[in-house]
Structure 1
Amino acid sequence: METEEQAREYVNQARQLSSSGSYSKAFDLYIKAFEKDPRVKERCEPEFRVVLTQLNEVLVGAGKMEDIFFNFSKAIGAFPRNCHLLNDIGKYLYKFNFYTEAWDYFQKALAIDPSFVNAEKNINSIKNLLLERWHFRMLNDKIRNDAYYDAIKESTNRYKDSVLDIGTGTGILAMFASEFCTTAVTAIEASETMAWMAECVTQGNNMPDIVIVSKMSTTMNYRDIGGKRSLVVTEMFDAGLFGEHVLQTLSHAWEFFTIPTTRFIPNKAEFFVVAARSDHLNRKYQLGAAAKQLLDIPNMHVHMLADDETYDCEDIDLIKDVKYISEPKSLLQVNFNDYLDIQEKLNHTEPYEVQFTAKEDNEINIVIGWFNLYLTKNVTLTTDPRAENKATAWQQAVFFDNIPISVKENQVIDAQFLLNGGKLTMLPYCNTPVVKISPETLRFLNDDEYMKVIAGCIGMTCIYLGQMADMSDITIVDLSPFPLFGMLMLKRGAQSLICYAKTGSDKEFFKKVFKTNKVDWAKVTVLEGEDWDHEIFGDEKYHAIFCNVCDLCGDIDLRLREVALELKNNHLMQGGLFMPANVKLMGQIVNSPWLNINNRVYDGNFKNYKLAEYVNKYEVTQNYCIDFTTLEYTEVTKPTCLGPLYSEVKTEVVHFPITASGEANAILCWYDIELTEDIEAVSTKRPRSFIDGTLFLISPPVSLVSGRVACVVRLNDDDGSFKVAFRNEVP
């Protein structure tokens, strides 16, 4: 009894200390209590983890990493099989860049509780970080693989050449070279993870003589690789050809790794551009006419804030509304076998110019770029989206940051591009001022259907709230990417609005739009950035609260979800309006070959070499940012409701009636949003939705039979994280 009372006293003291911010002393007292009487551990575990989290936040601010993990070791001593603590350790290891160690802890947490969604998401994040997803499509590109194989075979002298592969990745090009060169093959890879994988791949394919060096090639010289090389191969290209710093890399290679007769693969490269129109793409980057009309800013040019990105990357052949307004033009060529040409490109400060001649009366709102790699005189690769035999390893570059221009047939348009810093940038056609806003705000406003629903509910909202109070007393919270609901309510005479701006640029844009709409900015409070939580609302209550908890990629923003629930439960006046009134998670089982090549490696795509067992360890269970309008898939079931977004059930099994026999490899997920109970739900699975889709992979794929039922399980963490998985098929 004395032991139990002493432990209880320690816990009471710990609670008092934690309430006053003395987290370190509180933590020590909890540990003492657990040691004194282990029976108190179970009931105190949640509050103990809260104190540990608060203590760690203080230690992070003080830069005391060792203390954090020392405390975790004590915590794990008390709770050795606590999956939440193991997951938290992984998060801090991730934060401090110990990625493989973090993976181990996330895996331990998931092994203890396979339904722990957060741990699985964290493992996916680690895998995406260590092995970027484009590696899968690149390795599965048989056209690219065969072309490099043929080029290396054609270019090597078995007994004379020594080969250097720069940016080897998984080591596939180095293995091609080793097949035709018995002298020496060295592969350089800056990423430690990729270098380790290249070691595994080359060893596993019985090519132990390939030397893998894990360093930046530009920090080395020939002594670091055992001598100069007579053949250099590389594939350091992005959609815009030069974005991976290939010019700087090969300039350095020329100076430090070569002999006078060294050859390079590719031999040459050429970049092409074409004027085009795609309203589908343009809406990702620029505010559309409907949104401008709604906001009464018809002459304002509003573009996406893109940081330092000068172009985006897209699979142009999948975009159905792309129309080429001109013929393609060659922008520039570079000869990688000519050192002076590489230097000229690196030092070229004047714009490269092309002239587009319009083939018809239309509008140019994007410029698309692609390249040819002339690997040898006889072997060429192209990323031309119109070509049937194009390489699929690379997407196409989309230059999006120019004001659209109307053109007449045969009209000539001058376009200029800079290669400063070794990356292509398109110069503006004119000097017209452009307002920049976050992708979240732009995509939200360009969702015409959702904007119409919001605008259409204002009248009924005013009638409803008018029964509670005079309109001049109505207070609003609108945490959407743009506070359209709040602005329209202020125009109707509401007293005040609290809204959220992701960036300072967004806040300035809000201010301009409100001023144009003659809304008193003094009535508006803007929460800028993400360094705030529900406590900022104090004890205030509001008549109407509008929240968006879905991010652009299709997942849940857990921070905004927590804020939304807090507002709904504690800051909504009795009888007040919380919007959306209901959000449902929807799902559909499908089969999509595109998902196979982007998520798994198949050995048949690279001659007789085996890579799958090494690369597929990095296969993830979920994909985000899925554009359902361009994803090609076959329906295996009809859309089925997976339950409300704000579900309090940890595990739910949902039956999907199978409507078509065939293989299934994914469960698509999206949301049906019901703003108010009397308004029809808006699905995010439609063109122009501001929320992309997400999907959960079924790996390996399963064969399903029409007329039967697929059992799908939905798992939910306490914080709102969810996952969906195929369980089995039943009659």
Structure 2
Amino acid sequence: MPNATTRPKRVRRGRRAPREDPARNELVARSLESAQQCLFNQDYGTAFVHYLLVLNLAPALKDFARDSFRFTLFKWAEELDSLGRVQDLFDCYEQALELFPMDEVIVNSMGEHLFRMGFRDEAAGHFHKALKLKPDFAEAKENFYRVANWLVERWHFLMLNDHQRNRKYQQAIQKAVRAGCSTVLDIGTGTGILGMCAKQAGAAEVYACELSKTMYELACEVISANGMKDDIKVLHMKSVEMEVPKDIPHRVSLVVTETVDAGLFGEGIIESLIHAWHHLLLPPQSSQDMPLSPAETGRVIPAGATVFGIAVECQEIRRHHRLCASEVGGLSLCTVGGFHSPVSCSPDADDSSEPYTTERLSRLPGGYTTLTTPFRALDIDFNNVQELEGLCSRGVTRIKLPVTQAGVLDALAVWFQLHLDEENSLSTGPQEDTCWEQAVYPIQNSSNFTVKPGDELTVEVSCEDAYLRIRAVAMARDGHVVSLDEWEPGPGPGMAVTPEAELCSALSCLQTDPQRAAQACMLECSEIALLNNTHYHDCFSRALDKLLSTLRSGPNPEGPDASGESPSADPLYVLDVSEGFSVLSLMAARLGSVRAYSSVEKEQHQAVLRLLAEGNGVQQEALEFWLNQVEDDSAVLQRPATEKLWSAIVLDCVETCGLLRQKLVEKATLARCLLEDGGRIFPEIIVVYGLLVESDTLLLESAVQGREPTLGFNIAPFINQFTVPVHVFLDLSTLECKHLSQPVELFTLDLMNCSENATQRQVEVQVCATGRVTAIPFWYQVHLDQDISISTFTQDSHWKQAAVVLQHPLEVTAGETVCLSVHLHKSSISITALKEEQREGPVAMDSASSTDTVS
């Protein structure tokens, strides 16, 4: 008999083939057919539901249905977005990603929706994931570059490359820690560098907080990579929300921070320090108490600051903040009370106004002239909580400022000296080699305000809402004082010219008519600069007049009537889809027999255009606002009427920052189909020009350059993940650089024949000077027609330039050739630079996109 103790052997059975389920297969087939029929009928919501059912029941069909499913998802998401059904939109994407978790196109598309809705951190995560799934995915790469500009602002690179700034902070922190400040809180830690300085100096406990999710995660990575993960506790929160012992176990003896902007208080340092003194810091040393050790008292680095200011004349500031032109393109602008920028700290400024803007004065095109000597505007002690709390209520300080140089008063420029401790300080002055810009308070008068030596300006300094506000309010001349906000009429004929009358004449630009004041219009700084660009408008006026005259003089199929005159022709239709405020439609409307449509959207701007139309004799029916008539902004390019086509369509092709606009080629292709015979797109052709330069400045502004400037800490590999290859808002005329070649034509875009545009071009550039190619600045020649063109690189241009920055510079010698590969992809231009001898073999290449794809 068999051995009863022997266990039977296990035999692996073959996997049974799945049993066919006829009912399920029939359901899948019917649902797939229904999905395709709904897709054909543009019923995207129902099609999406059917596809979900099909792909969940039959995963084997994923490859077959992927493209149709993507298309359905994207179209349904567009509908949900237009209806404001945000949660439903993201629910659909979550369901799609459950089916296709590794689909880089769906991941990237969800990131685009997140970015448009303001969820930049989450969008960055999706773009980054899409790039990991497909490293050469152009759309995801360009999207990530755009988000990187939002998440890690470019000044982070400048600050980390500013060795002097980093070293002085390190010295001040070392001194405080070695004196006994053993517990440290780094407010707004950024990359964590100041907290790491404290730990390196010997602090027993170091805490850090950071509000930005991206910077918080970056700080955690950097701190871990530098071996301090267990020594520095990083909190993802705002310091004013921190509590003891909930977030940190006890009060600290030292707070370090650099939450200061060009205007000193703009990043909320006053609020955060007041909260810190009340809730997070040990009490300060009091002169009335027994002396305490540093470990028993609290202190702040920086200890305080001194603010300085100066009055300046600067044409570049002037043309961005007030109207300088009285006429553009044949249009008189005098019928409007005035245009002003949103930068103002006057008492009647609205909530949308900012008290100051920022500029690097040393790089302003055309330079600037100082009209006074520097004045001391404010002193602040960050270690005195009573002084901090009284800052907003201390009242207005008036400073008398003698004028030392004749000129036009355009702005007050402000900088500060940051006192880290008794020995270490940093200056942000315009003559300093610093990572900071200067704060600029522009004069908002309607025209030039002239001063001369012997005059005396009255400047008011206040800190309302913890913002530093500085404004010139009056001028005295020969003992007479006149407010800059008022004007009294000058003497009539035959009246004696007194010093006061001379002053009033000098201040005639300050006239305030109550009726016109109500018509004053606020424009963005770039829109004011555009309105001041008379050459731009004159070129458009000539090109429009030339085209419309040609169309009017074309053959008349109906011939003359009995009186010998041609019957009245239908009006010509012109559409201006420029971004923001534009008077191009009004320029077309005044040419006669034209129905001009403007894409200006804001009601105030539409009202101003109507006033300009009335003042320039344009009939009311000749100007209409197109966005008031279309259901969706995305449908702005369509016929003016069922039986009508456009005679001219004006496309806004170049962003102010120096990049081509998103989906330009796609928009031009659609616009071309909407033109009547002989109609034109403006501009017709865009030619891209560039040159080779050596510029350490661009390198420092684009990436952290090694460990030396960052005190030996390992920071560069982490923050340089957010390096973007294109530097925008560049003033090439003032950029510190060495030209290594002459300008060359890089690429041509024919917007009237988009199908004939090449997608790639090889350009050989002759090197004219020995050096390192670190960047390729580029700009555009915008051709309205064959004879009329506008450059984006001129002194009066409202456009800036951009530059591709090479993170691995090319060493070149005069006479050599650099080969540029210029590639066009969906209105994005990428540039790869190689030396001629490198073209044959495998080499590392620097490539960068010159535009963004996220609106």
The two structures share one fold, judged by TM-score above 0.5: yes
Q: Is the 8 A contact 2:310 2:373 kept in 1?
A: yes
1:237 is paired with a residue whose SS is coil
CA-CA distance at 1:71 after TM superposition: 3.9
How many pairs are equivalent?
719
| Structure 2 counterpart of 1:340 | 386
> Residue 222 of structure 1 aligns to a residue in which SS?
coil
What's 1:272 paired with?
A: 308
Q: Identify the range of structure 1 (351-360 vs 339-348) with the bigger mean alpha-carbon deviation.
A: 351-360
- The answer to which of 211-220 and 471-480 deviates more is 471-480
Distance 1:424 1:594, change over 3 A: same
Specify whether residues 407 and 99 from structure 1 end up closer, same or farther in structure 2 by C-alpha distance, changes over 3 A only.
closer
Q: Which residue of 1 aligns with 2:811?
A: 703
Q: What's the CA shift string for 1:272-298, capped at 9, x where partnerless?
A: 221111101221222223656953235
How much has 1:257 moved relative to structure 2? 1.8
2:396 corresponds to: 351
1:641 aligns with 2:745: yes
Which letter maps to 1:671?
Y
Q: 1:691 aligns with which of 799, 806, 821?
A: 799
Aligned to 1:356, the other structure's residue is in SS state strand
Alignment of 1:352-367 (within 5 A): 352-367=397-412
- My pick for the range that moved more, 603-612 or 459-468, is 459-468
Residue 437 (structure 1) aligned with residue 530 (structure 2) = no
Q: State whether structure 2 residue 614 is matched by structure 1 residue 515.
A: yes
* Aligned-residue offset at 1:20: 4.3
SS in 1 for 2:189: coil
Q: Give the drift of 1:560.
A: 6.3
Q: Are 2:691 and 1:588 equivalent residues in the alignment?
A: yes
Aligned equivalents of 2:462, 2:569: Cα separation in 1:
55
**What is the deviation of 1:685?**
1.8
In structure 2, relative to structure 1, the CA distance for the partners of 1:515 and 1:45 (3 Å cut) is: farther
Alignment pair present for 1:524 and 2:524 = no
Answer whether contact 2:596 2:624 (CA < 8 A) is retained.
Answer: yes
2:91 to 55, 62, 67: 67
Of residues 107-116 and 670-679 in structure 1, the stretch that sits farther from structure 2 once superposed is 107-116
Match of 1:311 in 2: 356
Is structure 2 residue 242 aligned with structure 1 residue 220? Answer: yes
Contact 2:694 2:737 in 1 (8 A): yes
Distance 1:512 1:560, change over 3 A: farther
Relative distance call for 1:74 and 1:541 in structure 2 (3 A) is farther
In the superposition, the TM-score normalised over structure 1's length comes to: 0.90
Q: CA deviation at 1:598?
A: 0.8
Provide TM-score, normalisation by structure 2.
0.77
Could you tell me which residue of structure 2 aligns to residue 380 of structure 1? 425
Question: Which segment drifts farther, 575-584 or 103-112?
Answer: 103-112
Could you tell me which of 396, 399, 412 is aligned with 2:441?
399
Q: Which amino acid aligns with 1:643?
A: F
SS in 2 for 1:229: coil
Of 229-238 and 257-266, more deviation after overlay is shown by: 257-266
> Which deviates the most, 117-126 or 721-730?
721-730
2:698–2:727 CA contact under 8 A, matched in 1: no
> In 2, distance between residues paired with 1:158 and 1:376?
13
Cα deviation digits, residues 666-715 of structure 1 (max 9, x gap) = 22222111111133x32212222222222222122222333333222233
Deviations 1:389-419 (A, max 9, x none): x361211001125214211221112122431
Does the 8 A contact of 1:103 with 1:123 survive in 2?
yes
Change (3 A) 1:40 1:89: closer
Which of 622, 625, 631 lines up with 2:729 in the alignment? 625
Q: Deviations over 1:361-403 (max 9, x none)?
A: 21101110111112222222111113xxx36121100112521
Q: Which residue of 1 aligns with 2:680?
A: 577
**2:299 aligned partner:** 263
Partners of 1:584 and 1:673 within 8 A in 2: yes
Alignment correspondent of 1:27 = 48
Within 1, Cα distance between the matches of 2:599 and 2:304? 50
Q: Specify which structure has the higher proportion of helix.
A: 1
The question of 1:654 aligning with 2:675 is answered no
Residue ranges of structure 1 left out of the alignment (5+ in a row) = none
Out of 322, 335, 339, the residue aligned to residue 368 of structure 2 is 322
Determine the structure 2 residue equivalent to 1:672. Answer: 781
Q: Does the 8 A contact of 1:90 with 1:102 survive in 2? A: yes
Are 2:322 and 2:340, in contact at CA under 8 Å, matched by a contact in 1?
yes
Contact 1:663 1:701 in 2 (8 A): yes
The letter for the 2-side match of 1:474 is L
Report the residue type matching 1:125 in the other structure: R
Q: Which of residues 546, 552, 555 in structure 1 aligns to 2:656?
A: 552
Deviation at residue 117 of structure 1 after TM alignment: 3.1
Do the aligned partners of 1:708 and 1:730 also contact (CA within 8 Å) in 2? no
CA contact (8 A) 2:688 2:745 kept: yes
- Preserved CA contact (<8 Å) 2:306 2:378: yes
Name structure 2 gaps, 5 residues minimum.
1-24, 286-297, 344-351, 474-483, 487-511, 557-567, 839-855
Alignment partner, residue 446 of structure 1: 532
Is contact 1:265–1:376 with CA below 8 Å preserved after alignment?
A: yes
In structure 2, do the counterparts of structure 1 residues 6 and 589 end up closer, same or farther at CA, with 3 Å as the change threshold?
farther
Shift of 1:180: 2.8
Report if aligned partners of 2:392, 2:462 keep a CA contact under 8 Å in 1: no
Equivalent position of 2:847 in the other structure? none
Distance 2:405 2:712 in 1: 49
Query: Of 79, 87, 90, which aligns to 2:111?
Result: 90
Match of 1:505? 604
Alpha carbons of structure 1 residues 346 and 161: separation in structure 2 relative to 1, 3 Å: farther
Offset of residue 597 of structure 1: 1.0
Q: Does 2:319 match 1:283? A: yes
The separation in 1 between residues aligned to 2:202 and 2:686, in whole angstroms, is: 61
CA distance in 1, matches of 2:548, 2:774: 47
Shift of 1:238: 0.3
Any conservation in 1 of the 2:97–2:107 contact (CA below 8 Å)? no
Question: How far off its partner does 1:250 sit?
Answer: 0.6
1:336-357 deviation digits (Å, cap 9, x = unpaired): 1111111110333x32322222
Code of the aligned partner of 1:287: L
The Cα of 1:92 is off from its aligned counterpart by 3.8
- The amino acid that maps onto 1:133 is R
Aligned equivalents of 2:604 and 2:443: distance in 1? Answer: 16
Q: For structure 1, which segment, 370-379 or 412-421, has the greater mean C-alpha deviation from structure 2 after superposition?
A: 412-421
The SS at the match of 2:399 is: strand
Give the Cα–Cα distance (whole angstroms) in 2 for the partners of residues 609 and 134 of structure 1: 18
Tell me how far 1:231 sits from its aligned partner. 2.0
Separation (CA, whole Å) in 1 of partners of 2:540 and 2:116: 39
**CA 1:99/1:575 → structure 2, altered by over 3 Å: closer, same or farther?**
closer
- Which residue type is aligned with residue 549 of structure 1? C
Conservation of the 8 A alpha-carbon contact between 1:7 and 1:40:
no
> Could you say if the C-alpha distance between residues 69 and 599 of structure 1 is closer, same or farther in structure 2, counting changes exceeding 3 Å?
same
State the one-letter code of the partner of 1:215. M
Residue aligning to 1:414: 458
Identical pairs, percent: 25
Q: What is the rounded CA distance, in whole Å, between the counterparts of 2:310 and 2:787 in structure 1?
A: 48
Confirm or deny: 8 A CA contact 2:195 2:232 kept in the other structure: yes
Tell me what 2:233 maps to: 211
SS in 1 for 2:372: coil
Q: Deviation at 1:254? A: 0.8
1:173 corresponds in structure 2 to: 194
Partner secondary structure for residue 258 of structure 1:
coil
Matched residue SS, 1:332: strand
Offset of 1:67 from its aligned partner? 2.5
| Aligned partner letter, 2:304 | K
Does the 8 Å contact 1:437/1:505 carry over to 2? no
What residue identity is the alignment partner of 1:523?
A: A
2:440 aligned counterpart, secondary structure: strand
Q: Is the 8 A contact 1:316 1:385 kept in 2?
A: yes
Q: Give the direction of change, closer, same or farther, for the CA distance of 1:270–1:23 in structure 2 (3 Å limit).
A: same
Rate the CA distance shift 1:39–1:654 in 2: closer, same or farther, 3 A.
farther
Partner of 1:710, secondary structure, is strand
Deviation at 1:241, TM superposition (A): 0.4
Contact in 2 for aligned 1:437/1:509 (Cα 8 Å): no
